[in-house]
Amino acid sequence: MRRIIQITVLTFYIMVGCNSEQQPKYEITGEQGRIIKEMIDAVNERDAEKYVKSFADEVQVFIESEIKVDGRENLIKNRAKHFESHPNVRSEIQHLVEIDDKVIMHDKVWLEEADKVGQNIVEVFTFENRKVVRVDVIQPEGLFQNQ
């Protein structure tokens, strides 16, 4: 599974280009993209309830193919703890691609106001019946160690 995610991310970067000088480019072409945009808005509002609104009860979140969060209730707790630990967190979508039941997002996250560069994160959201059932996250090692 890890190899599939890595290939997907590589393909994604080839499709959109990796030039860090580019302005963020993405177009929301469907409902799934709109849902992801609302999630990022919730991150910037530090609203855990709003963030998980479009996740299925049985959602699973994986980092490097290891399950980190199992279930919507645990995700609410995880996000609330994250927003408490990082009250200045900010996220911006850099690229967003919708393919069938998947949305691949490259976003940039700043945990603290002093961070001028931010961290790159890629997430693959899998949808079923208009709800996110799985999230595969690729992020810098140790980014959210206590989360």
Residue 140 buriedness (CB in 10 A; 0-12 / 13-18 / 19+): exposed
Per-residue model confidence as pLDDT tens digits over 96-119: 999 999 999 999 999 988 888 999
Which residues in the chain come in under a pLDDT of 70? 1-25, 144-147
Is 70 a member of any domain? yes
Is 126 a member of any domain? yes
Average pLDDT score over the chain: 86
Is 147 a member of any domain? no
Q: How far apart (Å, rounded) are the C-alpha atoms in residues 27 and 34?
A: 10
Residue 118: predicted pLDDT: 92
Q: What is the number of domains present in the chain?
A: 1
Range of the domain at 57: 2-14+27-138
Is 79 a member of any domain? yes
Is 54 a member of any domain? yes
- CATH number of the domain residue 66 falls in: 3.10.450.50
Is 21 a member of any domain? no
Q: How far apart (Å, rounded) are the C-alpha atoms in residues 28 and 31?
A: 8
Is 19 a member of any domain? no
Is 143 a member of any domain? no
Residue 12: predicted pLDDT: 53
